[in-house]
Structure 1
Amino acid sequence: MKKISLLVLLSVVAFNVVSAEISDDTQKRIAENRQLVKELFAALKGELGKALEAGGPAAAIPVCKSRVPEIGKIFEEKYPGWTIGRTSLKTRNPVNAPDEWERPVLQGFEARKAAGEDPKAMEHSAFLEKDGVRVFRYMKAIPTQEVCILCHGKQLIPDVVAKLEELYPEDQARGFEVGDIRGAFSFMQPAPARN
């Protein structure tokens, strides 16, 4: 009987140690992803700010189309093995359409906002298998800011509409108001297999 009790006790202790390691690993990964959000947001905001100053909203649209993917590639070089992107339920570029994991997360963000949660604090993460490989996925909501409505709002000026129709014929990313969830940063990184 003592042997069984000792085995049960050791099993519980071992389980708690593994759980703590998983929790520590998850927290570390969340912290890394939060830092990446800050860095990426600052880079994108800086690029957008320069374009807006140089030529206004219509001139910023081509910069967003060309520079945003380039900035994403720079960050993927800085974070080897990571997939770094943005997605939305209402995409401007169909290449950024949500995948089967991202879509329900975005819908969950919308439900949380409808329940009164501040989008600035919304994030979601999970370990999962993708193509037979264990990965860590992270999403952080992007709240619509005042500057966003210049090109994503309900009332767009004619030259912005013309440039959007020229560069993004499948654009769905209009009609937003300040505080709406514009979309989310979406990151995926390799995660070591569990022992």
Structure 2
Amino acid sequence: MNKYVLMVGLAALLTACGEKSEQAAAPADAPKTAQQVAAPAAAPTPAQGNDKAALVEQAKGTVQALGGTLKGELEAAMKAGGPVEAMNICHTKAPEIAKAVSAEKGMEISRVSLKNRNPEMGAANEWQVAVLNDFEAKKATGEDPATMAYAEVVDKEFRFMKAIPTGAVCLKCHGTDLSPEVTAKLTELYPQDKATGYKEGDLRGAFVVVKQLTQ
């Protein structure tokens, strides 16, 4: 398993835990299909113009940067206070980290889910819902969510999504058998939470990367 997939997996616990999308409103037209995009073998080169291949590499690097930072925060939080402390990271630091990575990489990155924790944050828009549903359809045929990605340019907007599968660690806050402490914290932070009941390997959501093109 390469470094890119590992970082995505370790960041999965933080997906859709109340992060507000930092990206601009997207057109309502939905993509026809989701396509497979291989993980990068090296650091991406900044994209020029509408070079889709370069944009994809830049987007994968952006996902890797967010995943790596969240990984460190998650590990520290789990050691300090377990799942409840990890939820505090979701609630406070994760949006700030996404904003900082977006500024650094020149691409807007967020995380969305069909079952988000906060109804006003992390909810997928129309084209993102279409991609997530396509990911779900592929999973139903036996495809591994860890390999799923989508990339397209629509109306001078580059769009990239990377599926996030549910890992074992995710189940502590997103599974079916939650501790009383986790349940109480969810009730406190996210009274309208929808993001529980998952099993290992389920599709939890996706990283979303968007870049407005000038050419």
TM-score, with structure 2 as normaliser: 0.74
Matched to 1:120, the amino acid is: A
1:85 aligns with 2:107: no
- For 2:65, what is the secondary structure of its paired residue? helix
- For 2:117, what is the secondary structure of its paired residue? coil
Report the equivalent of 2:58. Answer: 32
Q: How does 1:33-182 map to 2 (within 5 A)?
A: 33-80=59-106, 82-94=107-119, 95-129=121-155, 134-182=156-204
Q: How far 1:79 sits from its partner (Å)?
A: 2.2
Separation (CA, whole Å) in 1 of partners of 2:198 and 2:74: 18
Q: How far 1:93 sits from its partner (Å)?
A: 2.1
Check the 8 A contact 2:63/2:109 in 1, yes or no.
no
CA deviations on 1:125-168 (whole Å, 9 max, x unpaired) are 11112xxxx11000000011111111011110000000001001
Q: How far 1:192 sits from its partner (Å)?
A: 3.1
The percent of aligned pairs where both chains have the same amino acid is 45
Check the 8 A contact 2:145/2:163 in 1, yes or no.
yes
Report the equivalent of 2:47. Answer: none
- How many residue pairs match? The answer is 166
- For 1:108, what is the secondary structure of its paired residue? helix
- For 1:96, what is the secondary structure of its paired residue? coil
RMSD over equivalenced CA pairs, Å: 1.5
Separation (CA, whole Å) in 1 of partners of 2:108 and 2:68: 18
Report the equivalent of 1:6. Answer: none
Larger helix proportion of the pair: 1
Matched to 2:66, the amino acid is: L
Matched to 2:122, the amino acid is: N
Q: How does 1:8-27 map to 2 (within 5 A)?
A: 25-27=51-53
Q: How far 1:106 sits from its partner (Å)?
A: 0.3
- For 1:137, what is the secondary structure of its paired residue? strand
Separation (CA, whole Å) in 2 of partners of 1:120 and 1:61: 23
Unpaired stretches in structure 2, ≥5 consecutive residues: 1-49
Which runs of 4 or more aligned residues in structure 1 lie more than 6 Å from their structure 2 counterparts after TM superposition? none
Matched to 1:93, the amino acid is: N
Separation (CA, whole Å) in 2 of partners of 1:85 and 1:147: 21
- For 2:193, what is the secondary structure of its paired residue? coil
1:188 aligns with 2:213: no
Q: Which structure's relative contact order is higher, taking Cα pairs within 8 Å and 6+ residues apart?
A: 2
Check the 8 A contact 2:159/2:210 in 1, yes or no.
yes
